Structure 1
Amino acid sequence: MVSLWGSKKDDQGRAENGEHAREENDHQSPARDYGRRSQEPEPDERTRLLPRDGNGYLSPDDPAVSPYNLWTVRALRGLSIFFLAITFVWWVLLLVSIFVSPPLMHSRGSGFFDFSYTSLTVGYIVIGLLFFSVPSRPMIIWGIVLSVLLFIDMIIIVSAPRIRVEEGWVGIASVIWATLISIYNILQNRYVAWGKKEEEERLTGREETRRTLVEWIAVLVETVIMAIIAIIVLLMTATLILRARDASLAPPGKKYYVDGDKYQVHVACVGNITAQADKQTPTILVEGGEGPVEDSLQPWIDQLYQHGTIDRYCYWDRPGFAWSDNAPSPHSAGMATDALSEALALAGEEGPWILVSAGVGGIYSRIFSSRHLRDVQGLFLIDSLHEDFLARVGKPGRGFLLWLRGIISPLGLDRLAGAIFKGRTREDRVFGQSAYQGGRFIKAKLQENLVAESMTASEIASARHIQTRDTPLVVISSGVEVRKSEKWAKGQEDLGQITDNLVAWDVIKHAPHEVWKTSDGRKIMEARLGDLLRAVDDEV
C-alpha cells in the first residue's frame, strides 16, 4: 500500500513539474521569438516589399512593382536629368550664337547644323525621360538606327576637310555628343527593362508580359517619335553627303583669311595686271546683288572682258556667299567692305577701281567707295537699293522667316529634291539658282537683316556724307520696278545725286530688277560702262 501510494504521489509531482515547465516555457517564448527575429537580416532593396511571411507575392498591378525600387535605376534617371541640363545650356548658347557670336564659338559655317544636332539631343533625352519606365524593343531598335546614322554623320564631318572647317570644334562637339547620348539611351533602355523584369520576378513571382492600355499607347507614341527623329537624321546625313560633294568644286581665284584669321573670303581677278597697268586703266570691281555675283553680274562682265571692252576685272563673294565663309555675328555692310579691303590688300590688288554693283550690292559699293576715296574712280549702280529701303531688308517678319528657313535647312528638303528630281549640279547649289537654299547663304541674309536698320543704315549715311562729289556716276534703273513703285522711282532719282558728276541715268523700259537679263538691258549697260570709262579718262 505504501509503494502504491508513493507511486501515485510521484506521478502527480512529475505532472505538476511538467505543467510548471510548460508555463515557464510559455512565459519565455516571446523572448526566444524576439531573439530569432533579431537574428533575421534587415529588409533591404530586394526584400523590403515582400510579404513578411515570405510565402506570398504582390499583384502585378500593384504600384510597388516598379523598376524605380532599384537605386541604380533611380541614379540612371538622375544622370539623364543631368545630361538634359548641360545639353540645354549648350542649346541656348548655340541659339544665341546665331545672332551674336560668343567668344571662341564662331562657326565658319552657318551654325544651323550644330544647333539641329543639339536640338535633337535635347529632344531625345526628354523622350527617354518621359518613357523611362516603359522600355520597349522598338525604342531600342530605333535607337540603334539613330546611333548608326549619327555615327556616319560624325565620320563625314570629321573626314571631309571643307565641312570640318565650316563646322569647327562646335559642330564636331555637337555631333559627337549627340552620338554618345544616342548610345547612352540604348543602354539606359536595356537596363531599365532588366530592372523591370527583376522586380516583377521578385515581387510577383514571374515576369509580366502584359501591358496596360496606357503602356501600349506610350510604346506607340515613343515608336512614332523615334521614327520621325530617325528620318530627320537620315535627311541630315543625305544633306551632309551633298555638302561633301559640293565642297569638291574648286573656286576660281583664291581665298584669304580676314578679320584676324576668323574666316576666309573668296576673291578672283581676271586679266593681265601688267598690261592693264601699262594702259593705266582702272580695274572693274564687281559687287553682286541679292545673290552670288557668279550668278548675276560676273558672266556679263566676263563677256565685256572677252570682247575687249574692259581690260581687267575682279569680283568677290560676300561672307556666306558661294565659296566665302560665314562671318561672326553681328555683321554689317561696313564690316563686309572692310573684309573686302583686307582681302584685296592680301591679293596685291591696289586699284584704281570702278565699282559695278546691283541691288543691295549698291549699299556695299557705296560704303567701299567712301572708305577708298583716292582709289575709286567711278560708280556704276544697276537698279541699286536705296537706303530708304533698308527698313524692308530689316523687317522682323523677314528675319523670323530667314531664321526658320535656317533651322530647317540641315534637312536639305529643297536641295535633295533638286538634286534627285531636277538634276541640280554642284554649280547650281554653290553659286547658281539653288544657292539661296544653303545654310551659309541663309545665315548671311539673316545677318544682313539683323543690322540693316541700325549698323548698316548708320554706315551708309556716313558714306553719303563722305563720298567725293566729283566721282563719275552711272545709274541704271529697272523700268518694271520704277513703274511698280513710286518710292522706288524716287529712290533711283536720289541715287543720281550722291555725286555731282552724273554721267547718265537710264530707265530701261521692260527690264526687270536684274536688268542684265534682257538684251536691251545688256546693250545699254555696256554702252554706259563705256561712257563711264571715258569720263574717268577725262578726269585723269
Structure 2
Amino acid sequence: MPSLWGTSRDDDHDADAGEHDNGRSEDDSRSRADERTRLLPNQANNSTSRLLTPDDPAVSPYNLWAVRVLRYVTLFMTLFSFVWWSLLLIAIFATPPGLETRGSGFFALSNASIALCLLISKLVFFGTPSKSSRILCACMALALLVNSILTLAVQMVRYEEGWVGTVSVLWALLMSLWVLLADRTVRWGKEEEEVRLTGRAETRRTLTEWSSVLLETIGLFILAIAIVLMTLTLMIRSVDAGVAPPGKLYWVDGGKYRMHVCCEGDGAKAEGNSTPTVLLEGGEMPVGNGLRQLARDALKNGSISRYCFVDRPGVSWSDTAPSPLSAGMEAVAASEALAKAGERGPWVVASAGVGSYYSRVFVSQHSREVKGLLLIDALHDDDLARLGSPRRGFLLWLWGFLSPLGLDTLPAALFRGRGSVDRIRGVSARHNPKNIFARLQESLVADSFTKRDVEGSRAIMRRSTPLTVITSGKHAEKDKGWKENQRDLTMLTENLQHWDVVDDAPHEVWETLEGRRVIEERLREMVRHAE
C-alpha cells in the first residue's frame, strides 16, 4: 500500500531492478553495435524506430566502415599515382637514374595519366555510383588488358617501354579494375543503408546526382576513347617492330642505349685504301628519307666508293637517349657507335639542316680524320634560339603527350596507305613518338648546351678543312637573312671550295634534279681531292 510520505521499500527495490535491467540492456546494445550502428546508435536493432526519409543525410553509404576504408584506399592510390606521374613527367626533361626508357616515354606517361584520371574521377563522384560508369570501366579494363598483353608479348615494344612502361600499363589496368570494384561496392552499400533506414532501395535521383552521373559518364567515355586509340596505335607499333634495320645496332654511353649504323660500299674498307667514306648526317628528316638514296646513286655512278650514316638517338631505328642530350653528347655517342662498327675514316662529312650542328661538332672532334665538310642548306648559330624557344618546346611536349593516341599515325595508315617503313624513316616519321621525343630533347638544350657545343666547335675546328656550302635558292630568295647566315657559314674554315645557291630548290635541296646533281658533283670533288 502506498505511503503518504513517499514510495515503499518494495517500490524502491523494483525501481532499482528496472534501472539495473535498463543499464544492462544499454550495455548489451553497445556491445552489439556494428559498423551499421556506430554512427546511428539510436537506430540500433529497434524494430519500432520510425523509418527515415530517403533525403535524410543519415541515409548514406558512408555509414559502412567498408565504404569509408575503400575511399581512403582510393585516396592513397591517387596520391601514389600522382607521384608516379610526376616522376615520369620529370623524366621527359631530365631522366632520373633507373627511369630510362629506350622508347619515347610518352606511352608510360599516358598510361599513368589514365590511371590518375580514373582515380580522381572516382574520388570526385564516389557517392554516386552508376551503371554507365561500371560499363565504361569494364570496357577500359578490357582495352588495357589488350595493351598489357601487347606490351609483354611483342619483344620490341617490351624492349622500348622497359620496366617503366610495363609497370605503367599494368598499373592503369589495375586501377580500372579497382574503380570498377569501388563503384560496385558503393552501390551495394548505398542499397543496404537505404533498405535498413528507409525500408526500401531508392530508385530516383536528385538533380545533383543526375548531374554527377552525367559528368562522370562523359569523362569516362573520353578516357575510354583515348584508351581504344592507344590500343590501335600500339597494334601499329607491334607491326612496325617486325621491320629490320638495314644496318646494325651498337650499344653506346655505357650500355644505356643503341645507335643504328648503316654503311654501304667497299672503298674505305679495302686494305690500304685511303679513299674517304662519306658520312651522312640527316636534317629535320632521317637520312633514310632522301639523302640515303642520293648516296646510293652516287655510289652506283662511281662518284663515291663508300658511305655511312648514324641515326641520331630517337631517329629511325636508334633508341632514345636519356635527357638532356646535346649536340656534343650525340657526336660522342656517334663516334663510339662508328668505332664499334669498325668505321674509323677518313671522312667526308655531309649534313643537312639541323644536322649541321651535330656534324660540325663531330668534325671538330675528329679534325685529322675529316677530309672535307659539305653543308646542305645548313642551319646557322642564330637559329638555335628559335629551335630552343619555350613555345616550340611546349608544343613538342604537347604533341608528344598526345602521340600515343595516333591522331596523325592512324589516319595516315588507314586512309593514305602509309606503311611501316614510312613511319620509321619516311614522311610519317615526324609523327613517331620517338622522333617527337628526339626533337623535344633537341629543343630543350638548343639555346644552352648545344649552343655552347656549336660555338666551341667553331673555335677549335681545323681552319684548313675543305668546306663546301650548298644553299636552297627558294629559301635564300624568301629570307634575305637566311642568305646572309649562309654566307657566314662559308667562313667556318679558311678553305672554302664552293658556295652553290641552287635555284628553285627547297630546304631539302636533293628533292630537285639540279640539287641532286650539284650535291653529287661536290661529293665527287671532295672525295677525289682527299685521295
Question: What interval of TM-score do these two structures reach, taking the shorter chain for normalisation?
Answer: over 0.9
Shift in Å, 1:27: 4.2
Structure 1 residue 46 corresponds to structure 2 residue 46? no
Alignment of 1:314-333 (within 5 A): 314-333=308-327
Shift in Å, 1:54: 3.6
Cα distance change on mapping 1:71 and 1:122 into 2, 3 Å: same
Structure 1 residue 36 corresponds to structure 2 residue 21? yes
Structure 1 residue 307 corresponds to structure 2 residue 292? no
Structure 1 residue 195 corresponds to structure 2 residue 189? yes
Alignment of 1:384-533 (within 5 A): 384-533=378-527
CA distance in 2, matches of 1:69, 1:206: 17
CA distance in 1, matches of 2:278, 2:268: 15
The structure whose residues are more often helix, as a share, is 1
- Report if the CA contact (8 A) 1:87-1:122 is conserved: yes
Aligned to 1:218: 212
Shift in Å, 1:242: 0.4
CA displacement, residues 282-303 of structure 1 (integer Å, 9 cap, x when unaligned): 1111100111110031111111
CA distance in 1, matches of 2:481, 2:474: 13
Matched residue SS, 2:262? strand
CA distance in 1, matches of 2:224, 2:436: 25
RMSD over aligned Cα atoms: 1.8
Shift in Å, 1:206: 1.6
- Report if the CA contact (8 A) 1:383-1:513 is conserved: yes
Aligned to 2:363: 369
Shift in Å, 1:530: 2.0
- Report if the CA contact (8 A) 1:355-1:378 is conserved: yes
Shift in Å, 1:276: 4.4
The residue identity in structure 2 corresponding to 1:493 is R
Which protein shows a greater Rg? Answer: 1
- Report if the CA contact (8 A) 1:318-1:336 is conserved: yes
Shift in Å, 1:84: 0.7
Match of 1:121 among 112, 115, 131: 115
CA distance in 2, matches of 1:427, 1:533: 31
CA distance in 1, matches of 2:291, 2:111: 37
Alignment of 1:105-116 (within 5 A): 105-116=99-110
Shift in Å, 1:489: 0.9
Shift in Å, 1:26: 4.7
Cα distance change on mapping 1:77 and 1:354 into 2, 3 Å: same
The residue identity in structure 2 corresponding to 1:31 is D
Shift in Å, 1:31: 2.5
Cα distance change on mapping 1:144 and 1:104 into 2, 3 Å: same
CA displacement, residues 400-456 of structure 1 (integer Å, 9 cap, x when unaligned): 100000010000011001111111111110100000001100000000001011111
- Report if the CA contact (8 A) 2:74-2:123 is conserved: yes
Shift in Å, 1:280: 2.3
Shift in Å, 1:520: 1.2
Matched residue SS, 2:200? coil
CA displacement, residues 63-92 of structure 1 (integer Å, 9 cap, x when unaligned): 001011111211111111110111111111
Name the stretch that deviates more: 520-529 or 74-83. Answer: 520-529
Aligned to 2:62: 68
Alignment of 1:47-446 (within 5 A): 47=37, 49=40, 50-51=42-43, 54-55=47-48, 56-272=50-266, 276-446=270-440
Shift in Å, 1:221: 1.6
CA distance in 1, matches of 2:209, 2:349: 68
- Report if the CA contact (8 A) 2:348-2:372 is conserved: yes
Matched residue SS, 1:295? coil
CA displacement, residues 137-195 of structure 1 (integer Å, 9 cap, x when unaligned): 11111111111111111111111111111111111111111111111111111111111
Matched residue SS, 2:259? strand
Shift in Å, 1:20: 12
The residue identity in structure 2 corresponding to 1:377 is K
Name the stretch that deviates more: 144-153 or 49-58. Answer: 49-58
Cα distance change on mapping 1:58 and 1:33 into 2, 3 Å: farther
Structure 1 residue 534 corresponds to structure 2 residue 505? no
CA distance in 1, matches of 2:60, 2:81: 28
- Report if the CA contact (8 A) 1:107-1:326 is conserved: yes
Cα distance change on mapping 1:438 and 1:275 into 2, 3 Å: closer
Shift in Å, 1:28: 4.2
Name the stretch that deviates more: 362-371 or 39-48. Answer: 39-48
- Report if the CA contact (8 A) 2:2-2:8 is conserved: no
- Report if the CA contact (8 A) 1:51-1:57 is conserved: no
- Report if the CA contact (8 A) 1:330-1:447 is conserved: yes
Q: Which runs of 5 or more residues in structure 2 are unaligned?
A: none
CA displacement, residues 354-401 of structure 1 (integer Å, 9 cap, x when unaligned): 001111111111100000111111111111111121111111111110
User: Identity, % of aligned pairs?
Assistant: 48
- Report if the CA contact (8 A) 1:472-1:502 is conserved: yes
TM, length-normalised to structure 2: 0.95
Shift in Å, 1:227: 1.3
Shift in Å, 1:32: 3.0
CA distance in 1, matches of 2:322, 2:132: 42
Cα distance change on mapping 1:534 and 1:295 into 2, 3 Å: same
CA distance in 2, matches of 1:320, 1:517: 24
Alignment of 1:21-32 (within 5 A): 26-32=11-17
Cα distance change on mapping 1:293 and 1:275 into 2, 3 Å: closer
CA distance in 2, matches of 1:187, 1:244: 31
Aligned length: 522
Shift in Å, 1:278: 4.8
CA distance in 2, matches of 1:446, 1:72: 47
- Report if the CA contact (8 A) 2:268-2:275 is conserved: no
CA distance in 2, matches of 1:256, 1:302: 23
CA displacement, residues 297-355 of structure 1 (integer Å, 9 cap, x when unaligned): 11111111111211111112100100001100000011111111000110011110000
Name the stretch that deviates more: 375-384 or 199-208. Answer: 199-208
CA distance in 2, matches of 1:469, 1:524: 24
- Report if the CA contact (8 A) 1:144-1:183 is conserved: yes
Cα distance change on mapping 1:527 and 1:36 into 2, 3 Å: same
CA distance in 2, matches of 1:510, 1:316: 29
